[in-house]
Structure 1
Amino acid sequence: MTTSYTGDGQVHVRDNSGVIFQMGLMGELPRDVHRLLRTSLDERPSATTLLSDVDRVFVQPRNFDLLLDRLATAGVLLLTGVPGSGRRTTALKLLSKSGDPEHTCWELDTDREHDDEKVSLDVPEDLEGDGLLLDLTSHGLGDCERWLDAVHQARAQLRDRRCTLVVLVTSTFANQPGRWWSTLVKQLHPPTPRAVLAAHLRAIGIAAGDAELDDVLGPVADRGLGTLAHLATLIADEREAQPEAGLRSWAARAHTVLDDRPATLTPWLNEHRDAPARALMLSAAMLEGCSAETVWTASETLLRQVRFTAPQSPVLERRGVSERLGELGFDVERDGAVRLRRDKGFHHRHVRAHFFADHPDLREPLTQWVVQVGQNRALTVADRTVLALRFTEQCLGIGRPELVSEVIGEWLRGSDFPPLAGCAHGMLRSGLLHDRHGAHFRWQIWNWARQPPPDAPSAFLTMLGDVCQDVIAPRYPSQAIVRLHHLARHRRPEVSEHAVTLLRRSVQDRRFLRRLVQRFWDVFEKRVRENDVVLFGRLLTPETFDGGEQPGRLLAERGVRGHLTRSWKVVLEQPRQWWQGGVFAWLHGALDPHRREVVVDILAAACAGDLTLSSQLEQTATHWFDAVTGDDTRDAAHVLDLLRARLDSALGLHFLSAQKGFPS
């Protein structure tokens, strides 16, 4: 994540996938908030950068060679193991081929819009020798059965394309003898925690001996490999904050952060039972790193939200906010930022977790509190973003992702959403990257894109498009297409044009382009709308299918060609004003001799020998030719002659095929 300063007086924090958050004059966000926005290792399973990141910290499981041999022999491997044992990382390494830049691995989409929707493997047609990952660890037993039936049906197809498939399943599901897949199940035997921690520390430039590693491991040795990765990250944070302290001190503080319930937290909470103190401590914990004035504003808002009215003394007799924070264990540092003292024996995340996890009756008031503080324009955008993201973190931690959606929904009903678009983007991004709750946010974005809230501002809808492309598309391209397509239908031109721009940018990836072709056919099979016909003609021009390859090559691919032909047939049956622009664009694309044959063949085949469709298409082509001027006239004549010949042939009018200027 990088930070740049521009002439608008804002600090722009840019993450790895190009998302820009305008953060105001305060500067960079706290480190723990950065991690909520940063691209996770799991977000791009097909990216070369991901595999190189995995290589930096990967330690082979004890039975890695056996797993690799079984995958090579059977082509399909069902991998199981305890959560946190490294199943996903191991699967990526099993599927990758080092030294082969053309080889990629892809995660198959398992989300469905409806529970009763039929499942099938979404295997792109151009896969050849690639690796596929199917993660079923969050699915119920019935769902796993249906997906493995789909795997069974696709095995021959995968074998023909030399594709390997790793399916991640839970141990509960895997322990079923006598099934067709029983012999394909293998248990992961993870590497030792010491070796994993050593690899993560080496990746951040820290070398440690076995004795030091054992000391650092201590309380977390049995908590899973993900915890060890987080421990290394926290150690790196502590090294940055106290570079002279040494590994033992860095690790001690990191263990404090990782501790679920430090022993010193409860006595501290019991010392401060009055409502004003607790409102201030929670506000300080939620806004740690922000200014004292911001913390005080949030605290006063929280007291009003819970309807607490304290006896008021004269203003001049009241204690200052810095003094009150100091009594609670928070210091106001020289830069004005509020920070919990490092000697407290617990971390500010523990304070947040206490109020969200241990006080269920506070969750609704806290949700409305975040709504109100977010709408307070006296706070900087950075302050509001810190609060919004830490609130999101707590909601995900207690299994209440719908509270995040509720906050964004309340902001939409206000009159000042645009300044909050960055906050909402960060909240959705954080939710989408969550292993357990990502599906909720994908569903929520689909629902908002399909049926936008009444009077939802354009800033919100364009932000949804950005989230689709930046976060959903890399891992779930088909779902991103569906959501962007809904946004491209929107009646407001600024929303629809933004979605079209994102789709055009995305189809530079040929696999995304194939999915978009499939999407239009799926839509046309169910219902044909004018805006879909117009979008079809605008997005799927012949030039779109070049992609740096020989022009026309991708159009000639059997699956793509079949979907386009069927789609054009449906399109040409609609009123001419809907599709004339699309036909003009296709005929213009046929001016290139490399595309000419395949473009004309698809259009002619779409008419399927139908006299009415053929006549309308020929008339439209004639109008197009009449409008062509300059150097393209000769090529345009060749296109028109070829189209007439193909249409005549399909109608059985072979004797007319060589005639120029056949009357329309």
Structure 2
Amino acid sequence: MSDPVSYDIHSQAGPFHTGSGSQTIHQYFAPVSAPRPQASRPLPDDHLLWLRRRYVEPDGWGHAERILTETHTVLVDGRTGSGKNATARMLLYAHPELRGNLREVLPEDDSGALLLDLEQVGEHEGLLLDLSEADRESWRVLHDKLPGYHAEVRKRGSRLAVVIPSRPLPGPLHPVLEAHRVDIGRPHGLHVLRRALLQEDFAPGTPEQPSPDLLRLLEREPPLRHIARLADLIRRARRSRPADTFDDWCSRALEAINRQPEEVAQQVIALADGGSRALLLTTAMLHGEHGARSDAVYEACEALLDSVKHPVDERPLLEREDLSARFNEIRATPDAQGRVTFEAVEYDSAVRTHFWNNMPGLRTRLATWVSRVIALPSLTDADRTALVGHFAKQTLASGGGEGLLAVVSGWWDRQGVFRSATTQALTHGALDRDAGREIRRRLLDWSRVPRLPEQRAAVLVDVCSAELAAAYPQQAVVRLHHLARRSGGRAAEQRLTALVLSDRRLHRLMLQRLAFGLAGQRWDADVRLFLSLTAADLLCRRGRGIHALIDEKGIRVQLTSGWDSLVRRVPPPRWQERAADWLTAAGRAQRTHREHLLTVLVDACGKEPLPLARLHELSRRHHVAPLMFRKINEAQGIRPTRPRR
């Protein structure tokens, strides 16, 4: 992509043009302020329905429901691990009129600064604000903003569910907010487990007679997320051994939950040689939903032994241990299709953690090994996905974002499977709880670099338009917009357009960014994006119980600013088709929308004769020509003359 493009209008001399050559017309239109978006992410209805089917209402549910209904804001309080976040989500989901318009507010702007922007509160929305992990300073800043935020939520007919930190709070709770606070109890663990298992097609009431080990776990009242994990482990144990009994599945799941690091350490120490340890680690690194094929595990294991300079086994092939015997030594079993998995549930995770924590000198060699193994033909795409995912998770846990970025820097200029591997690794980093903010900042910095290498730009477009767009949609929009202007080309524009049109809030944000950009540097991509995102049917379309974008005064200001830049700086053939689209839509629109569409176009031309003349000429072929003529005259201060009596 080129640098910013500025256009002059080449035309015949107008009434205020006293010389020959190009005429550049300047209008000092009130600038649209630079957007500072409130970070948020949608709460999809299908995800909330999944949770609703597994949710057990706690003590205090009815009270919380009444508070939210009557005051529009509820503060969910309770012990750590009592399911406060799930309760807040379900309280919002319990209001049918909000469904399809629910989102989680992330209390930060694109740069990571603390923010609760009142202007970003929409009408008839359900808003989740999770402050359960807020530190003292974050709590102080955001707590002080909550009363005003609540007032704006109520004014707009929306609902707000706030998850507050467990006691003791990082700071005092404002007396005004105390009336919104509800202390929820912790549902009984067995009820939660049974409900979760019921949704996994276990018989109602399972387990009927909990084993002593299960009862001991439940009596310790673990966090509810641990019980959800237990249900998932039981499901996985059943899938791997369908002929076993429920007690067998439950026992294997409890073994995974109660497994201590010392157990894995003892197994590693007991293995006879480095070859067996390499096979153990390789199996764990390639361990996915169904396991990797034994030939892929073998080939990757040989590559690992070579990477760590392990002595070559000089014995003849027929004198070496059978591969099945070697798998048996590390407690792994190939199935009928030759896919290798560990006998114990979630043992692969424990093995990876052991090697990363106890053999730090191996990490650099493992990075080299992963780079080599990714390209092995024997690996499937699923194997590569598992390998890169496990490697990224362990690297982030031990070396943070910098460790992962150091490895990725050697991948993203390479073609083929390395593009998807780089995309996956960066996505893991961007969504990481600890390193995510720093890596998202790096993505922002890279997106602003002019003329990035094509492969790098393509990777960044992939990262920003997939999982990052779901978790941090506003941040994805900002990064894709920078890429569209500079190095990402039409691919970035297409992904950005698709993302923006999937959410009215993102559409609104993008129009604001484009109005600001067109009034300033005038990137050529901004012209294409503005024309693409301002189709009249998009602006006049109403959502479910929601007004059209064109009905918002702020949107009309942004549209006027954008059109102002186009009609004055961009050659008419670039924008006349979109203007004609507006005129056609105005001819069949309801009165209010017709007025809005025509007024924006006329206001964008100001009082300058040349743009107004072009607009008048364009409108003559449409039903709204008389109304447009009147508006143009009014813009120039020409009033209709009354006939003399």
Distance 2:206 2:443 in 1: 45
Contact 1:272–1:278 (CA<8 Å) still a contact in 2? Answer: yes
- Bigger RCO of structures 1 and 2 (CA < 8 A, at least 6 apart): 2
Aligned equivalent of 1:647: 632
Question: Secondary structure at 1:366's aligned position in 2?
Answer: helix
Instruction: Please list the CA deviations of residues 116-162 of structure 1 after superposition, one character each: whole Å capped at 9, or x if unmatched.
Output: x462336656422x321112334433233333333333333212112
Task: Describe the shift of the 1:369–1:448 C-alpha distance in structure 2 as closer, same or farther (beyond 3 A).
Answer: farther
Contact 1:59–1:196 (CA<8 Å) still a contact in 2? Answer: yes
What TM-score comes out, normalization by structure 1 length?
A: 0.78
Contact 2:508–2:555 (CA<8 Å) still a contact in 1? Answer: yes
Match of 1:218 among 193, 216, 219: 216
Aligned equivalent of 1:366: 366
Distance 1:525 1:120 in 2: 27
The CA deviation at 1:445 is 4.0
Alignment of 1:108-127 (within 5 A): 108-115=105-112, 117=113, 119-121=115-117, 124=120, 126-127=122-123
Aligned equivalent of 2:525: 531
Aligned equivalent of 1:330: 332
Aligned equivalent of 1:482: 478
Alignment of 1:607-618 (within 5 A): 607=605, 609=606, 611=607, 614-618=608-612
Distance 2:211 2:594 in 1: 66
Contact 2:48–2:89 (CA<8 Å) still a contact in 1? Answer: yes
Task: Describe the shift of the 1:491–1:88 C-alpha distance in structure 2 as closer, same or farther (beyond 3 A).
Answer: same
Is 1:243 aligned with 2:228? Answer: no
Distance 1:143 1:161 in 2: 26
Question: Which deviates more, 172-181 or 86-95?
Answer: 172-181
Aligned equivalent of 2:410: 410
Instruction: Please list the CA deviations of residues 271-294 of structure 1 after superposition, one character each: whole Å capped at 9, or x if unmatched.
Output: 126433222210012123212222
The CA deviation at 1:563 is 2.5
Question: Which deviates more, 332-341 or 173-182?
Answer: 173-182
Give the letter for the 1:160 counterpart.
Answer: K
Aligned equivalent of 2:580: 587
Match of 1:50 among 47, 51, 69: 47
Task: Describe the shift of the 1:435–1:348 C-alpha distance in structure 2 as closer, same or farther (beyond 3 A).
Answer: same
Contact 2:103–2:128 (CA<8 Å) still a contact in 1? Answer: yes
Give the letter for the 2:198 counterpart.
Answer: R
Distance 1:397 1:186 in 2: 36
Question: Secondary structure at 1:127's aligned position in 2?
Answer: coil
Distance 1:163 1:63 in 2: 22
The CA deviation at 1:203 is 1.6
Task: Describe the shift of the 1:473–1:564 C-alpha distance in structure 2 as closer, same or farther (beyond 3 A).
Answer: same
Instruction: Please list the CA deviations of residues 51-86 of structure 1 after superposition, one character each: whole Å capped at 9, or x if unmatched.
Output: 321221111122222333333454333334444321
Task: Describe the shift of the 1:447–1:308 C-alpha distance in structure 2 as closer, same or farther (beyond 3 A).
Answer: farther
Distance 1:357 1:339 in 2: 22
Give the letter for the 1:168 counterpart.
Answer: V
The CA deviation at 1:350 is 1.4
Aligned equivalent of 1:515: 509
Task: Describe the shift of the 1:455–1:316 C-alpha distance in structure 2 as closer, same or farther (beyond 3 A).
Answer: farther
Alignment of 1:454-493 (within 5 A): 454-456=453-455, 459-467=458-466, 471-491=467-487, 493=489
Task: Describe the shift of the 1:525–1:509 C-alpha distance in structure 2 as closer, same or farther (beyond 3 A).
Answer: same
Distance 1:292 1:138 in 2: 43
Instruction: Please list the CA deviations of residues 164-202 of structure 1 after superposition, one character each: whole Å capped at 9, or x if unmatched.
Output: 212223236735336456624444422121221121112
Question: Secondary structure at 1:654's aligned position in 2?
Answer: coil
Contact 1:131–1:163 (CA<8 Å) still a contact in 2? Answer: yes
Contact 1:305–1:365 (CA<8 Å) still a contact in 2? Answer: yes
Give the letter for the 1:542 counterpart.
Answer: A
Distance 1:209 1:334 in 2: 31
The CA deviation at 1:434 is 5.5
The CA deviation at 1:487 is 3.0
Distance 1:113 1:548 in 2: 28
Alignment of 1:129-140 (within 5 A): 130-140=125-135
Question: Secondary structure at 2:584's aligned position in 1?
Answer: coil
Task: Describe the shift of the 1:178–1:224 C-alpha distance in structure 2 as closer, same or farther (beyond 3 A).
Answer: closer
The CA deviation at 1:549 is 6.5
Contact 2:211–2:247 (CA<8 Å) still a contact in 1? Answer: no
The CA deviation at 1:104 is 3.7
Aligned equivalent of 1:141: 136
Distance 1:49 1:591 in 2: 38
Alignment of 1:620-639 (within 5 A): 620-621=614-615, 624=618, 634-635=621-622, 638-639=623-624
Distance 2:351 2:514 in 1: 50
What TM-score comes out, normalization by structure 2 length?
A: 0.80
Question: Secondary structure at 1:190's aligned position in 2?
Answer: coil
Aligned equivalent of 1:544: 538
Contact 1:449–1:487 (CA<8 Å) still a contact in 2? Answer: yes
Task: Describe the shift of the 1:474–1:237 C-alpha distance in structure 2 as closer, same or farther (beyond 3 A).
Answer: same
Aligned equivalent of 1:604: 602
The CA deviation at 1:89 is 0.7
Question: Secondary structure at 2:409's aligned position in 1?
Answer: helix
Aligned equivalent of 1:84: 81
Instruction: Please list the CA deviations of residues 290-341 of structure 1 after superposition, one character each: whole Å capped at 9, or x if unmatched.
Output: 1222222222322333344446445565445444333333334432222324
Aligned equivalent of 1:107: 104
Give the letter for the 2:463 counterpart.
Answer: L
Unaligned runs of 5+ in 1: 1-42, 626-632, 659-664
Aligned equivalent of 1:154: 149
The CA deviation at 1:236 is 1.3
Alignment of 1:164-183 (within 5 A): 164-171=159-166, 174-177=169-172, 179=174, 183=178
The CA deviation at 1:354 is 0.7
Instruction: Please list the CA deviations of residues 20-55 of structure 1 after superposition, one character each: whole Å capped at 9, or x if unmatched.
Output: xxxxxxxxxxxxxxxxxxxxxxx9753222232122
Distance 2:617 2:314 in 1: 81
Distance 1:405 1:259 in 2: 33
Contact 1:545–1:555 (CA<8 Å) still a contact in 2? Answer: yes
Question: Secondary structure at 2:341's aligned position in 1?
Answer: strand
The CA deviation at 1:547 is 3.3
Task: Describe the shift of the 1:146–1:527 C-alpha distance in structure 2 as closer, same or farther (beyond 3 A).
Answer: farther
Instruction: Please list the CA deviations of residues 253-285 of structure 1 after superposition, one character each: whole Å capped at 9, or x if unmatched.
Output: 111222342654232111126433222210012
Distance 2:573 2:132 in 1: 48
Question: Which deviates more, 581-590 or 433-442?
Answer: 433-442
Aligned equivalent of 1:67: 64
Question: Secondary structure at 1:411's aligned position in 2?
Answer: coil
Contact 1:256–1:262 (CA<8 Å) still a contact in 2? Answer: no
Task: Describe the shift of the 1:285–1:178 C-alpha distance in structure 2 as closer, same or farther (beyond 3 A).
Answer: closer
Alignment of 1:264-275 (within 5 A): 264-272=263-271, 274-275=273-274
Question: Secondary structure at 1:339's aligned position in 2?
Answer: strand
Contact 1:431–1:437 (CA<8 Å) still a contact in 2? Answer: yes
Distance 1:135 1:142 in 2: 15
Give the letter for the 2:483 counterpart.
Answer: L
Task: Describe the shift of the 1:161–1:500 C-alpha distance in structure 2 as closer, same or farther (beyond 3 A).
Answer: closer
Instruction: Please list the CA deviations of residues 638-659 of structure 1 after superposition, one character each: whole Å capped at 9, or x if unmatched.
Output: 445544432331231225999x
Question: Secondary structure at 2:549's aligned position in 1?
Answer: coil
Task: Describe the shift of the 1:341–1:553 C-alpha distance in structure 2 as closer, same or farther (beyond 3 A).
Answer: closer
Question: Secondary structure at 1:371's aligned position in 2?
Answer: helix
Question: Which deviates more, 226-235 or 48-57?
Answer: 48-57
Question: Secondary structure at 1:171's aligned position in 2?
Answer: coil
Aligned equivalent of 2:196: 200
Question: Secondary structure at 2:201's aligned position in 1?
Answer: coil
Question: Secondary structure at 2:400's aligned position in 1?
Answer: coil
Aligned equivalent of 2:380: 380
Give the letter for the 1:384 counterpart.
Answer: R
Question: Secondary structure at 1:212's aligned position in 2?
Answer: coil
Unaligned runs of 5+ in 2: 1-39
Distance 1:169 1:214 in 2: 35
Distance 2:211 2:635 in 1: 76
Task: Describe the shift of the 1:567–1:458 C-alpha distance in structure 2 as closer, same or farther (beyond 3 A).
Answer: closer
